[in-house]
Structure 1
């Protein structure tokens, strides 16, 4: 007669059903990794087999749940968690993700700072290949320790809503790092450097307004750059393939009086261009090796127009997208870019929905450059809103410079009709707002 446990397994196998307890331990560890750190520890109460699985789970997720009411309680828990983890077990990934405002006692930050730096160093020392840190604080971001990361295993680093200083962004000690992302937060460093990073995203992060942060990533393949504060200086990126740079109204390099970088007003703080790095390109030189390039900016941000004074040769560029910043008299800025892009095949001109906020093209019959500058273009796309009068002027200047109208596609978006005030009031009343 078979033992009951064996009979249950045979019955489950014959019915085609597999219980979670029948899975091998490697799979069970991955199941535990899907839980928060606190929930993973609680699985030790399920049975003797589950007692120590959490100690060697390949993914560590430090996130708050209903078990923590204070930052201090979370700090104490994680400290003991890290001490009790199996030191020989590899850690594939570590995710630190919480909002400090979720805790009752975070109104006293001096006594209850989250130990994010300690957790980050632990993940690095355990050979984590992926690390993501996202810690939201209402007043000021949590400042990570100003210490370099040293790891032969780290491949992906994603830092969100935290403050970063100099030593932390020196990634010379991380030869395997390929994906680097900064989202939100503040980069208070004079230099970001990595010989191995291939993909860099800076999305909504801030840079110090008193100096330019230099970005040295010679192995970079793709770049996405959108920020506030001073424009960072891009060093050479010979392997760059795709790049997207957006300079919005929060960029430091702008002027409310002019579209260029010197309005002539000695009291204008906006025109205080930092010259500590000397003359030369800030952005375009580093982007000159790209095959696909998007350059968009708010009209008063002058960085692209300033960089054209030292415009490099874009010897590999085939696809180019720009918005209104090129729209000076006869589009001389655009002509300069095309002159320095000998093999460009597709050009997209993206016009905003609010043309009154931008510089209008002056009407002139004089071509801006000789026609041969544009002979390699196969297609030009103009994206605009229906009825945009600027399109006529653009078509005129392009045709004067050797681009047949047959190669130009105008993609218009229909304007949304404005609702009458009585209609809006009727809708609000119907919604009972």
Structure 2
């Protein structure tokens, strides 16, 4: 019994010692460490001690997830309301500290035919992140595609350099607004997005990816005009191979090749646009891909 009491006392002293060592860390280090928690867990750290009471207000990274609120109310709609109220309250009470990263997993079904109204809260939160100088922004629509309002990018004072959008609806003038409102954006990743805007342009992007789950709803071809682009991955479902303009910096390109015979002219035009590319991959099946690889090899030989 005495041994057991001694062990318990030793454990208790060890925990207390560990707590003291953690509290000895500077506040900015603690804020950085706890910022890797999801937002609801992050706020719960305020009960640990007086020193921890307000640390969550100045964290450099915020991650909101609707999944954190599963089972907190009798219905899914009530859980959605709790999530929205929590995020609004969190952003209202946080200190005006700059953000390194902002991550949002919205995952709320559209309640009506008014997509703009359904996405209003999410767009306000994204705008808040950009106004807080977030360097990295990641947004996941969830159950239904989330309509991203181009108006959230109206300020040209944001410092975002990397953006990932998943399960989002992108309507014109999305890319033009992104170009004017995010003047230092270098990396744009689109996953499972529905894209209504065929005019893709930028003065700063270096990496652009549209994955195989993206769907282009416009007729004709997308036009990509990005003089600064170094790496392009273009795999949207059912989309024609894009028309490239002003792509002098492009070094790596990966493109999905369809089976439509009418694409031959598009592909030839695409190849002629790749003056500086040294790494090229065509994705697809059959004779066409092998033929394109041969054409590309002959072009490289002719340059040397």
| TM-score, with structure 2 as normaliser | 0.79
Structure having the higher helix fraction is 2
In the aligned structure 1, how far is the partner of 2:56 from the partner of 2:112? 30
Structure 1 counterpart of 2:257, from 237, 247, 255 = 247
1:113-192 → structure 2 map (5 Å cutoff): 113-114=118-119, 115-137=121-143, 140-147=144-151, 149=153, 150-170=156-176, 171-192=179-200
Structure 2 CA distance, aligned partners of 1:41 and 1:127?
21
> Superposed, which structure 2 residues align to 1:385-400 within 5 Å?
none
Moved over 4 A (4+): 15-18, 109-112, 278-282, 333-336
Say which SS state the counterpart of residue 189 (structure 2) adopts.
strand
- In structure 2, C-alpha distance between the alignment counterparts of 1:45 and 1:86, rounded to whole Å: 18
Matching residue of 1:19: 21
SS at match of 2:56: helix
Matched, 1:40 2:48: no
Equivalent positions of 1:9-408 (< 5 A) are: 19-64=21-66, 65-66=68-69, 68=72, 69=76, 70-87=79-96, 89-100=97-108, 106=109, 108-109=111-112, 113-114=118-119, 115-137=121-143, 140-147=144-151, 149=153, 150-170=156-176, 171-204=179-212, 205-231=214-240, 232-247=242-257, 254-255=259-260, 260-261=261-262, 283-299=270-286, 324-325=287-288, 336-342=295-301
Number of matched pairs: 274
Residue 335 of structure 1: CA displacement?
Answer: 5.5
Q: State the SS of the aligned residue for 2:150.
A: coil
CA apart distance, 1:280: 9.1
Shift of 1:20: 2.2
2 CA distance for matches of 1:296 and 1:182?
18
Distance 1:172 1:107 in 2: 29
Q: TM-score with structure 1 length normalisation?
A: 0.57
Q: Identify which range, 239-248 or 180-189, moves more after superposition.
A: 239-248
Q: Find the aligned partners of 2:110 and 2:232 in 1 and give their Cα distance.
A: 38
Structure 1, unaligned stretches of length 5 or more? 1-10, 101-105, 249-253, 262-270, 300-323, 345-375, 377-433
Conserved 8 A contact 1:35-1:61: yes
CA contact (8 A) 2:69 2:82 kept: no
Tell me, yes or no, if the aligned pair for 1:148 and 1:168 is still in contact at 8 Å. no
